[in-house]
Amino acid sequence: MSNTLTRTLSGSVFLVIMTGGLLAGPSVYAFIMLFAVLVMTSEYLKISKINKKKYISSLTLFASALMFSTVYFIHRYNLSLDILLLNAVSFCILLAAPLYIKKSDDRQEGSTLVGAILYTTLPFTMTSLVVFGADGTYYPNLLLSMFFILWSSDVGAYVAGVTFGQKSGHKLFPSVSPKKSWEGFAGGLIAAVVTGVIIHYTDFITIPLIHIIAISLIINIGGVFGDLTESLFKRRYNVKDSGTIMPGHGGLLDRFDGALIAFPAAITYILLFNLF
């Protein structure tokens, strides 16, 4: 089976799972997001070789699960914000954990644990802020729209990059990702905005057009930085793919890299302008 066909089939299954899962209800949304968070955190630990320290790896995964779960339950069931203090406790434990690593080089790696959680877990934790209303009502359309914009941006960038950017294109960031071009960036930006406009006129979400365009631009630009950030991270450790869970694509960290910067930026914009 060709790599293109493998990527297409794998991507189609991924699209169905994500879209169907978010539409299925809050419990399925929580399961999918928590699963993604734990897999991405595991991939991060594996790439950075922190996973060799089993107890530290387990503590990190627990802290990731705790961060997502506390915010999810607060917004779904209108619980007290006091339970967020549990995250502070888990972070303190993680900060102290490297003291019990014998090798000094490994201690240096261990000090990045909290950063790993903020990178892989915080972005998806923030999605609970835009899927639950003030009364706990589940409303997945806005988050789905953000995914649609991000995915269309990826497709637009790939098509424009292959068509116009590979042979005589202008390199976007050659020191980190040699294949990315400004032509691909332009294609992704256009695709993101067009998708946002279509979402607006189909009334899938009720947000003014000017804000939909702004959100589309934020997701597109944030997605590019997210992709480049993960490429830089993998280049540091000389790793091609973050994992093998998605044939033809790599790991979930490879699949969601754009969202890890795009979504926090877009959600911050949405909340600042009271669009949800």
Asked if residues 204 and 247 have their Cβ atoms less than 8 Å apart, the reply is: no
How far is Cα 78 from Cα 9, in angstroms, rounded to an integer? 40
Mean pLDDT on 168-194: 89
Mean pLDDT on 69-98: 88
Most confident of 84-93, 97-106, 197-206: 197-206
**DSSP structure string for the chain:** --HHHHHHHHHHHHHHHHHHHHHH-HHHHHHHHHHHHHHHHHHHHHHTTGGGSHHHHHHHHHHHHHHHHHHHHHHHHT--GGGGHHHHHHHHHHHHGGGG-SSHHHHHHHTTHHHHHHHHTHHHHGGGGGTB-TT--B--HHHHHHHHHHHHHHHHHHHHIIIIITTT--EEETTTEEEEEHHHHHHHHHHHHHHHHHHHHTTSS---HHHHHHHHHHHHHHHHHHHHHHHHHHHHTT-S-S-SSBTTTB-HHHHHTTHHHHHHHHHHHHHHTT--
Count of CB atoms within 10 A of residue 3's CB?
A: 9
Distance, C-alpha 100 to centroid of its chain: 31
Q: Is the pLDDT of residue 141 over 80?
A: yes
Q: What pLDDT is recorded for position 104? A: 54
Lowest mean pLDDT among 151-165, 191-205, 218-232: 151-165
Lowest mean pLDDT among 12-16, 23-27, 125-129, 144-148: 12-16
Mean pLDDT on 48-66: 83
Amino acid at 167: K
Asked if residues 270 and 128 have their Cβ atoms less than 8 Å apart, the reply is: no
How far is Cα 273 from Cα 276, in angstroms, rounded to an integer? 8
